[in-house]
Amino acid sequence: MKVAVLGAGAIGAYVGAALHRAGADVHLIARGPHLAAMRHHGVRVLSPRGDFTAHTHATDNPADIGPVDYVFLGLKATSYAACGPLIQPLLHADTAVIAAQNGIPWWYFHAHGGPHNGHRLESVDPGGTVSAVLAPQRAIGCVVYAATELEAPGVVRHLEGTRFSIGEPDRSLSPRCLAFSQAMQAGGLKCPVEPDLRNDIWLKLLGNISFNPISALARATMRQMCHHTATRTVIHTMMEETLTVAAALDCHPDITIERRLAGAEKVGDHRTSTLQDLEAGKPLELDVLLTAVIELATLTHTPVPTLTTIHALTDLLTHRAGTPMNVLVGADRTAPRAAATQG
């Protein structure tokens, strides 16, 4: 099995190191000091489950790698439309693209069935620019339930969680999913193949859609948001509206709002990825987290007044920062940053 990790930041390098340990032919694509460190010293993983080092090929030029069986996409969703020159050298006729993204993916309605089958979401695939680069039929969905961070160039600290749920858009238990799942498990990770990954997407989105934008607006940590009574009420309402939209699309995540809030509270003073990006002056990955759900609410005639209000405020925030939503490109996960289960 030949795998390229495009955007080998905290999550990507962690997955690549695990697959390398399982015997896969792994190639990491990164840049800057992180790339230099991986070239000279390999990927050093520090984990409560045991430290290890993976000496795998690392480059900033995908042409050095050539076509692969799987591309594990560690880029942020805001970079998908612009990643064509990077991903094209990695593709052959049957290459699968595993997108480890938060929020609603560009392939959501591919092979979906029902009245919305094949529908394109403008918020996540504006003008079809993402589908033109990442053909939906290549996509294998991936929901990440692991927390990692780049402690230093070439050094990944694994904080908690090892589950990477994957699934086909058409809900089949395909040979390509099963093979990738087996390789991930051989490398020490959990990688269940879900019959309908969309339920997992909504389960994780329940936290991302609420905590991420509010953390950016309030500059607040998970604990602070959960402990502030009025804010907790707003978050609860946002989650209720999100579940209503999911139900309109026949998705029913197996979790209660109170359990989701309790889980977030346990994370403590974690700063969401959106807050980290805001503080670092990076594009905010809110189109796939918030704008897309509002678009889905419109599609299904579902009222979402609180989500709409928060969206208006975050849209103003991104415009003031000079990075309006729907036009953000160029960020990836190769710079030191946290990648966590809560966002």
Which residues belong to the active site? 204
Give start and end residues of each alpha helix (H) in the chain.
10-21, 32-41, 84-87, 129-133, 175-186, 197-218, 222-227, 229-248, 257-267, 273-279, 292-299, 305-320
Q: Which amino acid is at 67?
A: P
Tell me the residue length of the chain. 343
Question: For residue 91, which of 6, 178, 166 has the smallest C-alpha distance?
Answer: 6
- Distance in angstroms (rounded) separating the CA atoms of residues 222 and 215: 8
3-state SS class at 189:
coil
The CA-CA-CA angle for residues 36, 273, 283, to 5°, reads 80
Q: Say if CB 304 and CB 294 are below 8 A apart.
A: yes
Q: Establish how many alpha carbons lie within 13 A of residue 94's alpha carbon, considering only the half-sphere containing its beta carbon.
A: 7
Q: Which residues share a beta bridge with 166?
A: 142, 193
Exposed/middle/buried for residue 123 (C-beta within 10 Å: 0-12, 13-18, 19+): buried
Question: For residue 290, which of 277, 304, 302, 276 has the smallest C-alpha distance?
Answer: 304
The span from the first CA to the last CA of the chain, in angstroms, equals: 30
Helix axes 257-267, 229-248, angle to 10 degrees: 130
DSSP 8-state symbol, 286: -
Tokens of 339: 């990648």
